[in-house]
Structure 1
Amino acid sequence: MSSTSSKSPVRLFNPAGLYDASANGYSHVGLVEAGVRLVFIAGQGGENEHGTLDPDFRLQVRQALGNLRTALAAAGADASDVVKLTVLIVDHSEERLHVFGAELEAALGQGAKPTCTLIPVPRLALDGMLFEIEAVAALG
């Protein structure tokens, strides 16, 4: 069972009776203490600050995770405050899942990962957009 730091208002874990999801880069359960501020981050794609998308899936994932970190920082949060992720992947495959997992590990570091739902989709908002990630974070 993995868990976040006891100082965080967020507790992430994989309870007994469910498979250990940490190997797949997420936790089954996220608990948030009462009295915290919630931060909702809109879906972040792989576009840079000028709106340009790289056609490479990995580079879009990396940019989207960077965009997510920027949005979190603007709200006074960081990766350890994230409770829930929703991920949308165009033409999802196991290969793309592994790319996402590796990039998520690089972006969020060691330790418990947020709860996460991955949704394969046929298309996203912009032509050429292959990846989008939204988040809910909790600030103590």
Structure 2
Amino acid sequence: MNSLAGRSGLTLLNPPGLYDPAPNGYSHVALLPPGARIAFIAGQGGETADGRLSTDFREQVRQALANLCIAIEAVGGTPDRIAKLAVLVVDHSEARLQVFGEELVRALGAQPKPACTLIPVPLLALDGMLFEIEAVLVLPDA
């Protein structure tokens, strides 16, 4: 079994018998330590602080990941404490999956990625919004 236990006590697992999800930017299982404090980060889109939204998919993904990191830092967390991601993509394709994977490595580094579900959708909350990402993370001890 391929697993990684980080300093947060979060263990990411890829059990034998399941394909290697690393090229697609996720792990199959995230195991939280007993008594873990968790935070739920609402879906972050690609809009800037002043509300601008690029029409470019990659730019939206990059900004959404930056927004996610801001929210994580606001609760005292770090990206290596993400246990689970949910990703919503308008007009999903393997090309868009590749962009997401590249931008995820850019934002979070090369370490194993959290458990993740990608959900293709016809549209999102705002006109022109192409990408949204939410997270569950393990917080440091209080």
- Normalised-by-shorter TM-score class: over 0.9
Aligned partners of 2:83 and 2:137 also within 8 Å = yes
Q: Which runs of 5 or more residues in structure 2 are unaligned?
A: none
Give the structure 2 partner of residue 3 of structure 1.
4
In structure 1, how many angstroms separate the alpha carbons of the residues matched to 2:130 and 2:118? Answer: 13
Q: Distance in 1 between matches of 2:102 and 2:14?
A: 20
Q: Is the counterpart of residue 87 in structure 1 residue 87 in structure 2?
A: yes
Equivalence for 1:62: 62
CA–CA distance in 1 between the matches of 2:56 and 2:5? Answer: 32
Conserved 8 A contact 1:13-1:112: no
Q: Could you tell me how far 1:13 is from its partner in structure 2?
A: 1.5
Residues 1-140 of structure 1: pairs in structure 2 closer than 5 A:
1-5=2-6, 7-140=7-140
What residue identity is the alignment partner of 2:119?
A: I
With over 3 angstroms needed to count, the CA separation of the structure-2 counterparts of 1:136 and 1:68, relative to structure 1, is: same
Q: Which amino acid is the alignment partner of residue 4 of structure 2?
A: S
Return the alpha-carbon distance in structure 1 between the equivalents of residues 114 and 5 of structure 2.
9
Give the drift of 1:99: 0.3
What is the root-mean-square deviation of aligned Cα atoms in Å? 0.9
Name the SS of the counterpart of 1:71 in structure 2: helix
- Please report how far the alpha carbon of residue 4 of structure 1 lies from its aligned counterpart in structure 2 after TM superposition: 3.7
Query: Contact conserved, 2:3 with 2:11, CA < 8 A, in 1?
Result: no
TM-score relative to the length of structure 1: 0.96
In the alignment, the residues of structure 2 paired with residue 136 and residue 55 of structure 1 have an alpha-carbon distance, to the nearest angstrom, of: 27
Q: C-alpha offsets along residues 84-127 of structure 1, whole Å, 9 cap, x if unaligned? A: 00000000011100000000011110111000000000000000
Aligned length: 139
- The one-character-per-residue Cα deviations of 1:42-75 (angstroms, maximum 9, x if unpaired) are 0000000011101000000000000000000000
- Give the deviation of 1:128 after TM superposition: 0.3
Q: TM-score, normalised by structure 2?
A: 0.95
